[in-house]
Structure formats: structure tokens, C-alpha cells
């Protein structure tokens, strides 16, 4: 599995813990972040300095490629997604920031604040359209974290809000299968 745009390696470590078999590799353009990630990770997780727009891996190198919010900070997001599809054998999963959310109202407006500064916020429809014209099919999406903050009461309300306000979670998860026999 490849975690494209892994940053500090938080999700890479989680994926490695959850992966029953197989290698997990984190890739990021920022070598300082990768040093942090490697220094806080168990042995066996690989980290590679790489630009998501030109991944240094052969076609079909990974069963799964995951990218959590990295595309929100890459201007050439379609080019990066094309590369992720190229190195994926089976599936690509993206985590994106949702412009139709309370999180956007709290952290994303007027260029963003804190870690969200400069991020591109997508709508669910835009998230699905990212795969248009690319070698992928069966794209689907969902949202999560409707109430930012993660307090105990908000975690209890989340399941209800997902039913009442579908598509309004702060994060969009969109996944698509790689077309078999494709050539990028």
C-alpha cells in the first residue's frame, strides 16, 4: 500500500497497523516531514521522498494507493491522481476536505487557518469528477466528521447527523477501482 502525501506519517502508521499482510510505503515531497515520520514509525514502514505528480514507482506497484488531504494542497491534482492510478493495481482512495461542511466554515474560509491555510476544499460532486477521463471506474464517496472537534458528545451525534445531513461531513472519502488492462 502507498500513502501518497503522507506528511508526518500518522495515517501511514495506522495503515501499517491495520495491514494484515503487505508492505506500507509513505511518500511525500517534504524530506523534513519524512524524517519525522520515519523517526516516529516502526521498522518495516518505508518512506520515500516523492512528488505525487511524478511518483518513482513502476506501473501497478501497489494494490492500494491512499492519499489523505494531500490533493487539497497540490495545484495539479488531476496529474497527481493520474499518477496514483498508474502505480495502483486495484484501487485508489482519496481523503479530501469538504466545502459543504461546518469544518469549512470554521477553518477553511478566506484562505484557511492553521493547517488548513491554502487548502483547496472540494464539494462531493467535485470529488467524484476528479476521476472523470481517468483510468478508473466505480467511483463512490461518503463523508465523515460532521461536527469538528471530536468531543464525546459530537461522536455520539455523528451517526444521527450522517442520516440527517448526508454529504456534509468535514472530510470526503472517495474511492475508485483501477480499470483492468489500462495504460496511462
- Which residues have C-beta within 8 Å of that of residue 59, sequence separation ≥ 6? 86, 87, 184
pLDDT along the chain (184 residues), means of 10: 95 84 89 96 91 97 96 96 97 95 88 93 95 94 70 63 64 93 57
Is residue 81 included in any domain, yes or no?
yes
Number of domains in the chain: 1
Distances in Å between the Cα of 7 and the Cα atoms of 38, 41, 111, 114, 183 are 10, 12, 20, 15, 29
Establish if 9 belongs to a structural domain.
Answer: no
Q: DSSP code of 168?
A: -
Q: Are 47 and 26 in contact (CB under 8 A)?
A: yes
The SS3 call for residue 54 is: strand
| pLDDT value for 59 | 96
pLDDT digits (tens, 9 = 90+) for 26-45: 999 999 999 999 999 888 89
Longest dimension (CA), the chain: 48
Q: What residue numbers bound the domain in which 63 lies?
A: 51-101+120-140+170-178
Other beta carbons within 10 angstroms of residue 46's beta carbon come to 15
Q: How far apart are CA 36 and CA 113, in angstroms?
A: 23
Confidence (pLDDT) at 102? 81
- From 132, 136, 151, 42, select the one nearest 85 (Cα to Cα): 136
Nearest residue to 175 (alpha-carbon basis) of 146, 136, 123? 136
CATH classification of the domain holding 73: 3.40.50.150
pTM: 0.87
Kindly report the length of the chain.
184
Stretch (H or E) spanning 108 = none
pLDDT given at position 154: 62
> Within a domain: residue 58?
yes
Residue 94 lies in a domain: yes
Residue 135 resides in a domain = yes
Amino acid at each position: 500500500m502507498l500513502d501518497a502525501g503522507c506528511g508526518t506519517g500518522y495515517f501511514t502508521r495506522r495503515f501499517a497497523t491495520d495491514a494484515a499482510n503487505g508492505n506500507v510505503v509513505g511518500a511525500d515531497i517534504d524530506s523534513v516531514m519524512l524524517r519525522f515520520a520515519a523517526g516516529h514509525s516502526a521498522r518495516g514502514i518505508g518512506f520515500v521522498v516523492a512528488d505525487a505528480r511524478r511518483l518513482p514507482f513502476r506501473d501497478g506497484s501497489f494494490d492500494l494507493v491512499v492519499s489523505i488531504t494531500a490533493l487539497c494542497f497540490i495545484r495539479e491534482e488531476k496529474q497527481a491522481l493520474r499518477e496514483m492510478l498508474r502505480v495502483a493495481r486495484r484501487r485508489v482512495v482519496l481523503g479530501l476536505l469538504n466545502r459543504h461542511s461546518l469544518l469549512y466554515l470554521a477553518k477553511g474560509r478566506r484562505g484557511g487557518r492553521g493547517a488548513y491555510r491554502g487548502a483547496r476544499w472540494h464539494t462531493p460532486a467535485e470529488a467524484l469528477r476528479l476521476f472523470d477521463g481517468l483510468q478508473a471506474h466505480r467511483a463512490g464517496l461518503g463523508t465523515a466528521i460532521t461536527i469538528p472537534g471530536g468531543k464525546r458528545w459530537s461522536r455520539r451525534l455523528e451517526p444521527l447527523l450522517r442520516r440527517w445531513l448526508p454529504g456534509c461531513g468535514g472530510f470526503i472519502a472517495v474511492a475508485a477501482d483501477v480499470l483492468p488492462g489500462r495504460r496511462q
